[in-house]
Amino acid sequence: MDSHDSKIIEKCTESYNLVLVFCLILFTVWYYMHCKKQVIVRWPVLGMLPWIIINAHRIHDWTVDISKIFGGTVIERGPFFGRLEIVYTCDPRNAKYILATNYYNFNDRQDYRDAFDILGDGLLTATSNFWTAQRRAARMTFTSKIVRNIIFHKGTKVTQHALLPLLSHLSKESSGVDLQDVLMSFPPNELAEAMDNASEAILFRHVLPISWWKLSRRLKIGSNEKKLEAAGKIIDRNIAEYIKVKREEMVAKGSKADKYEENDLLEVYMSIKDGEKDELMLAKMLTDKFFRDTCITFLIAARDTTASTLSWFFWMILKNPSVEAKILEELELIISKKNTMEKNPVIFDADDQTGMVYLHAALCESLRLYPAVPLLRKTSTSDDVFPDGTVIWPGMTVIISCYAMGRMEWVWGEDCLEFKPERWISEDGKLNPEALSKLVSFSLGPRNCVGKDMAFVLMKLVASAVIYNYHVEVLEGQNIVPTPAITLKMMNGLMVRVRGRVFP
């Protein structure tokens, strides 16, 4: 493309943006005069796009408003020039159909890959045989005993030597701290900030016309795309340095460590090529790019989701002290059944977790109201009909709101907004399979989360240690609302004060 063509495109883009800004100004004036209290207004030419922009800061709660007024499934259109046709649903029957029953009709990954280009060819964006090979490797990795031991050992080490000592210091100082920052990464660092920026930027790609954000990306205009590009450079640099160091360590001590305590997940992944037979997978695993894509995929899938879920979990139990008391009672029962003297502070081991039924239920209840991944996005490839009768045609963008689903009376009953772990427990005192089947925050079907079980293991490890050893108090005057991002974090954090528990 020569300079003349570039200038023409730039002028067209400027004109396009000026027209859009002018339309939005007119819309804003009309909005405040006529329909400020309405949930959706379909604007001529622009469709519902202005409404998405106006509600962008509260996109997840907006999906709840839509569902309560228009029902479980809504079809909307964006601007005529953006080819944006959205099917929004929070109906669990539709979610199961899209994610599992008729998965292959909603497995067109190109738009998804484009939106998540920062992930490269990782497990979340890969397709065809390469995805099959990655999925197999990931499943074998996360279900292997050595990896489960590595993850639990690392989690225990961080909890024992970093998290609990920090909480102990804070309890003596009686100072407040942002618990979400502690759980995400403490102190804040360059990589963590870049991950947060990328997460927020990617969300807006899901609700804007594809042609719009792709043009902005190509011409490097718009704060959203600039923020994502800057975040990507920081993430790439940090991961590249980590892979380089890890390769050097493996050369120094051999491809396999003598003890699992000395390994980490990336090292295990770098070693599994010995048993891999897929030629494409083997070729990819010779490159740093494969491990770069794998690292960032696991960072987004594990770090953000686990930490954000724990943040919302503590917020909910602190608002419901009776739930905290029942969890503490369950943990004390586990301790009482042991014959050994417990050290102080107490950290529960892997065998103890089988008795943490109520704690597990409380985590499920947190995920129901505050799902780690609040929106799931798919694209239809052919004509279809949802279980609720909604007719779908090829190319439509399908948005599943897990966030709204957890707040619908017709799904969970009149007490849907109450925090009740009991809804996840059967009369026999075990977890209720029927209720668990409606938990879609880990997705369903072929692309369900391979690390789901280990996520619960880590969350119960941290939650049990914190609750048993400390009482956490929420500081007053906070505005706790979700951040508009692909993972459901708290926009303003969670300021708390920590006190050590006194046992008789």
How far are the Cα atoms of 400, 410, 458 from residue 371, in angstroms, in the given order? 12, 18, 17
DSSP assignment string, 106-138: G---HHHHHHTGGGTTSTTT--HHHHHHHHHHH
CB count within 10 Å of CB 191 equals 18
Residue located via tokens 């190109």:
110
CB count within 10 Å of CB 364 equals 22
HSE of 398, CA atoms in CB hemisphere, 13 A: 32
How far are the Cα atoms of 91, 179, 379 from residue 175, in angstroms, in the given order? 44, 12, 48
Contact 96, 376 (CB under 8 A): no
User: What are phi and psi for residue 176, nearest 5 degrees?
Assistant: -85, 155
Q: Which helix (H) or strand (E) holds 357?
A: helix 357-369
Bridging pattern class, strands 391-392 and 384-385: antiparallel
Q: Whole-angstrom Cα distance, residue 383 to residue 391?
A: 8
CB count within 10 Å of CB 448 equals 12
HSE of 282, CA atoms in CB hemisphere, 13 A: 7
Determine the 3-state secondary structure of 499 from DSSP: strand
Question: Is 449 annotated as belonging to a binding site?
Answer: yes
Q: What type of residue is 75?
A: I
User: What are phi and psi for residue 127, nearest 5 degrees?
Assistant: -130, 170
Q: Whole-angstrom Cα distance, residue 355 to residue 266?
A: 31
User: What are phi and psi for residue 202, nearest 5 degrees?
Assistant: -65, -35
Residues tagged in the binding site annotation for heme = 449
Residues tagged in the binding site annotation = 449
